[in-house]
Structure 1
């Protein structure tokens, strides 16, 4: 093969890693926003950022880091963008850490706290979770935990997450923890046996459990440890001794029916529990029954998360009924389960008993129209103060839109609304958009992506948010909006108080796409769009709002 052919082949496999797509940049901003506004050790030490402030910081960080990496890319010798991507990621992480340590700006208004734990004068955190995940052996454990051995230390909060302890290191840690356990109030040992053989991991858990037995904790995080029933029972001495827990995190732990039963049996009291998070387990219907028992014994719950736990209809009904006892609940997250209509109806009967509810996450529950209507009818009367409502991926179509619109009109405190991945089409979209147009001055985010609507629905959603002060993002991606319709949306936003910056990515919009059923004759598109809006305007007058 001659050199010309070889050069040609080399060029054929050249890949450019820079610049990232617009959707990638937006995704990074959303991820940073979530990380900055989610409770962590940093937030408990420096304060929790509100969602709006977190989004502002995330957007600023991304823009600065993109500009810096882009400048680097222009001087990059290899030209494939790899070092620019690394710089982009590194600087983003660095600036996020700076924002977290700076804490929230001082303001006269603050978000409703889920669990308020102000930092006392002698309240100190020992956090060894920084850096890459790594195995820890005895010598390193002794060095890392040496601050806990100093006489008169005032450490009350420890975080050993992201470091994998072997038995030797656990024995070192165990003796140190036993000496300070009476002063500890918060323990994070999530993801602390990664990569260890099962027998060794269980031994490590038993050592930590024995060392911390009898400590009076208000916060315990044992997530990301692939516990299963064996792991839960390995922590039995620690769990049995806890009667004052206010926050318990058991996420991504392989919590099956037997593990859920063990957890329910071992913890003697959950009366003081304010936060209970079970995200990403394999609990199923049978396990949900035991989770429901814990919920019934936790009347002071303020934040409950049981998302992605494989719970179906029967378990969903049991859990929904149990939630009716949690009259102080402020945040409820049940996303990504298989509840179905019956569980949705059961939940609708408990929602009126939750007068303090502020955030409600019910995406991907297979609620369909019947379950959705039951829920929004309950919320209309009981939760006008709701700030976050997520109902994505529930097969909601235009038939449920009038009931949903009435509910949304009552929710004048709404800050974030997610209805993505449903089947609203133009008919349902116009009704819902009209319900958001007046009032809703606090609305910041609206996600109606992938709803099969076209030009008419897009225009109405743009009008609904164009003049709302402080609005941050409109997501209408993944729909069937014509090029002319996109231009109209942009004109509407330009003419309003908000700029085009609020319009999210449109990389998955299909300008030539059409809804997949034949409910309406496909006539001239412009005439059809106008007719839809005019016809639905008249229908709206029959909607009781």
Structure 2
């Protein structure tokens, strides 16, 4: 056996394809830029981008594709990284085509925004997406829901501050917490174009909900949809929420379900709805609301010419209260929707215990009932 054979046997080696080097990334950006500015089947059909637009779009496409591939690589074993490389190339091609389809002078960030609907991003993914968002000032539609983002939602909230063209914001089903909610509120002051805000199940609590309500009151004059369900919001936050809601003359849908607004809070929200002529749907289910609050809401929404659905299911409404609401809706049941049941106090107590168990699980605590 010669020395060459011995050395090759003693010194095995492997090649890792991911992460790709900075040089390779720069070359890819250059290729993407060329594809956006030179004649091809697609540019003849959709038009070429200007040099400035192509430069910005090419960098955004590469950033997002790289982050998506890195998340795949980090989540599980990928051998030499071949799967990540394939995903990287696939994402670049897909995003390139979407940008081309939007044509020159289009708000290309909007296309990229749809790709942030990641499924299990987590905190590290949130930080990566935040970097992309910072460089997407023309972003119009942003969704990052059901991604397990918790305290690092603050970074994502701060990044959104640069997106002054934002129209729809969907952050549902994360565990932001109150502090991230306050951070988000600082960004919302700058979003005058918002028409849809989806912030359900973020664990905002009163502190985060009040901060966001105060911010939206001063911005988003054309807001049409507001969802803040399942955020542990109590009656203490009702005045701020009511003031915000009352200022939104274009509001068509409101969802504050699965909170703890109770009777007084529901009454304040009901009064806030009185001047909203375009309102069509209200969901105040599972809020520990009693007879007076249910009656108040029914009396307010029944006056809306285009109103379609009131959901007050899962509240502590007495038999008399149920009958009162039914009577209010009686003449309009063919055109209006009403979702309501009476829940006995005993069942409501059990439901509250279940809510506490879920909340404890989200916060990483163990639950015991002696």
Q: What corresponds to 1:233 in structure 2?
A: 85
- The number of equivalent residue pairs is 277
Tell me the TM-score normalised to structure 2 length: 0.68
Does residue 339 in structure 1 map to residue 176 in structure 2? Answer: yes
- For residue 192 of structure 2, the aligned residue among 333, 350, 355 is 355
Counterpart in the other structure of 2:232:
395
Name the CA shift for 1:300/1:370 in 2 (closer, same or farther; >3 Å).
same
| 8 Å Cα contact 2:199/2:227 also seen in 1 | yes
Q: Which residue of 2 aligns with 1:52?
A: none
Contact map agreement 1:345 1:371 (CA 8 A) in 2: yes
Is the 1:453–1:515 contact (alpha carbons within 8 Å) kept by the matching residues of 2?
no
Alignment of 1:317 onto 2:158: no
Unaligned stretches of 5+ residues in structure 2: 1-39, 47-57, 74-80, 351-370
1:304 correspondence with 2:180: no
2:337 maps to: 503
Output one character per residue of 1:266-304: Cα deviation in whole Å (capped at 9) or x when no partner: xxxx97221413335221111111101111111111100
TM-score between the two structures when normalised by the length of structure 1: 0.47
Aligned partner of 2:22 in structure 1 is none
Matched, 1:447 2:283: yes
SS of the equivalent of 2:313 reads: coil
- CA change 1:305–1:279 in 2 (3 A) is same
Shift of the 180–243 alpha-carbon distance from structure 1 to 2, 3 Å rule, reads closer
Q: CA deviation at 1:409?
A: 0.7
Determine helix, strand or coil for the equivalent of 2:117. Answer: coil
More RCO (CA 8 Å, sep 6+): 2
Give, in angstroms, the shift of residue 333 of structure 1.
0.2
Q: Are 1:366 and 2:203 an aligned pair?
A: yes
* In structure 2, distance between residues paired with 1:413 and 1:427: 25
Question: What CA deviation, in whole Å up to 9, does each residue of 1:476-535 have, x standing for no partner?
Answer: 11111112111101222236xx4464233335x414558659xxxxxxxxxxxxxxxxxx
Query: Given that residues 271 and 297 in structure 1 are in contact (C-alpha distance below 8 angstroms), is that contact kept between their aligned partners in structure 2?
Result: no
Shift of 1:244: 7.5
Q: In 1, are the aligned partners of 2:310 and 2:339 still within 8 Å (CA)?
A: no
Structure 1 residue runs without a partner (length 5+):
1-178, 186-213, 249-269, 518-545
Decide whether aligned partners of structure 1 residues 232 and 427 sit closer, same or farther in structure 2, where only a CA change above 3 A counts. farther
Q: Which secondary structure does the structure 2 equivalent of 1:504 belong to? A: strand
Q: Find 2:129's aligned residue among 287, 291, 294.
A: 291
- CA offset at residue 324 of structure 1? 0.7
Root-mean-square deviation (CA), in Å? 3.1
In the alignment, which residue of structure 1 is the partner of 2:163?
326
- Alpha carbons 1:247, 1:274 under 8 Å: kept: no
Query: Given that residues 493 and 500 in structure 1 are in contact (C-alpha distance below 8 angstroms), is that contact kept between their aligned partners in structure 2?
Result: no
Q: 1:247 to 1:181 in 2, by over 3 A?
A: closer
CA distance in 2, matches of 1:512, 1:311: 35
Counterpart position of 1:466 = 302
* Superposition deviation, residue 236 in structure 1: 2.8
Distance 1:452 1:274 in 2: 40
Q: Measured at CA, do residues 244 and 325 of structure 1 come closer, stay the same or move farther in structure 2, by a change above 3 Å? A: farther
> In structure 2, what is the equivalent of residue 405 of structure 1?
242
User: Is the 8 Å Cα contact of residues 289 and 315 (structure 2) preserved in structure 1?
Assistant: yes
Greater helix share, structure number: 2
Look up the SS of the partner of 1:235 in the other structure: helix
1:487 aligns with 2:319: no
Deviation for aligned residue 1:472: 0.7
Asked whether the 8 Å contact 1:422–1:450 carries over to 2, the reply is: yes
Measured in 1, the distance between the counterparts of 2:107 and 2:293 equals 47
